[in-house]
Structure 1
């Protein structure tokens, strides 16, 4: 496994690299966003770890650029910023996970292994079309339609809806969504899952009489064609 670390703090970058080496991972360092983007375009990496605040190109813009050229590579963002808005911006740019500094190396390793495992499963699986009521999701083309009207979703909105379509008619707790879609433990101090559910509602349900995404009070969320 080869991991790209994009971090302008040399001490932090080298600490991460040393921790990865001890676990058998090869890694490459870049100290600014532009250099990181060049390395991504020139090489194949299994996973990218990037800071958000970087010289020359910040981690948000870098993540968007990476998603344009290599949409499937897992990306973990590291940052001292930890508000819900910061996390939403990172996920909307295409990040798969988000770790707030300071963090323990073992927690980073858990996130890395979870993403690598998930990515390996998806690359070996057969693509197909998911359908629920009049909602359709093409896992090959990443196109989502409802009643033949195309719906534009961000990468994280797509993953959240995909998980709900794999588990229709079942209440999904915030803890389960955090673990299965974000590969992270649910932080009760943030509401980013509710934020993304609201994003989906606006795109999937707003223009239609029949609502598909429902809240089960005190329990979680459910994809259901009938009113609760």
Structure 2
């Protein structure tokens, strides 16, 4: 499921865009007021924001700047009827993915949306492991963990234990199996109780209930 936020004070235009990009697996939300859009963005997670430049209250550039400060990785498409190069230059400096004229056809706009989310899907498949139930995203390349929009600090080994369970949801592992998978047992002598310590710290830091104890076995991620 990908979440898309469309922002434009031109209701007719943005509603038309919404109809053009409706695709299975996409949740599309429209906001006609950029301030309300920003408020929603702080409460909910979005993979892509499509916004107009010229709007009342705050313009699209200010909106994008604030959203990027909240979530730097969010993808952005800016649609505008003002093709001035100085606006485009600022947008690109804000790491807008595409700066498009509103004169483009709905088919082309939809093409850009699909391209961004297709690229994002490939990236996620390679590096990101998620739990929708817990609102957790773990980046295997950057060793970053987010609970919603909040970055959680884990040690390297805590991260590896978490990632192991996110990769193998609903499968029970004994302590010895976890050690064999994540430690170099040929050169390390690991007390199985160290797994309990890592699990406890992960639960405390992430405030999760999905990582459960299985009496007589070990642990499992229920989802």
Q: State the TM bucket, normalised to the shorter chain.
A: 0.5 to 0.7
Residue in 1 that maps onto 2:114 = 113
Secondary structure in structure 2 of the residue aligned to 1:107? helix
For residue 126 of structure 1, report the CA deviation from its aligned partner: 4.8
Pairwise mapping of residues 87-98 of structure 1 onto structure 2 (< 5 A)? Answer: 87-98=88-99
Task: Give the length in aligned residue pairs.
Answer: 129
Q: Which runs of 5+ in 2 are unaligned?
A: 129-140, 144-223
Residue in 1 that maps onto 2:28 = 27
Would the aligned equivalents of 1:32 and 1:57 in 2 still touch at CA under 8 Å?
no
Would the aligned equivalents of 1:63 and 1:94 in 2 still touch at CA under 8 Å?
no
Pairwise mapping of residues 123-138 of structure 1 onto structure 2 (< 5 A)? Answer: 123-126=124-127
Distance 2:27 2:123 in 1: 22
For residue 118 of structure 1, report the CA deviation from its aligned partner: 1.8
Secondary structure in structure 2 of the residue aligned to 1:118? helix
Secondary structure in structure 1 of the residue aligned to 2:21? helix
- Deviation per CA, 1:151-186: give whole Å up to 9, x if none: xxxxxxxxxxxxxxxxxxxxxxxxxxxxxxxxxxxx
Please report the TM-score for the alignment, with normalisation by the length of structure 2.
0.53
Residue in 2 that maps onto 1:85 = 86
Secondary structure in structure 1 of the residue aligned to 2:100? strand
Secondary structure in structure 1 of the residue aligned to 2:56? coil
Residue in 2 that maps onto 1:39 = 40
For residue 140 of structure 1, report the CA deviation from its aligned partner: 4.4
Name the Cα RMSD after superposition.
2.1
For residue 64 of structure 1, report the CA deviation from its aligned partner: 0.7
Please report the TM-score for the alignment, with normalisation by the length of structure 1.
0.52
Pairwise mapping of residues 1-228 of structure 1 onto structure 2 (< 5 A)? Answer: 1-21=2-22, 23-24=23-24, 25-126=26-127, 140=142
Secondary structure in structure 2 of the residue aligned to 1:50? strand
For residue 92 of structure 1, report the CA deviation from its aligned partner: 1.2
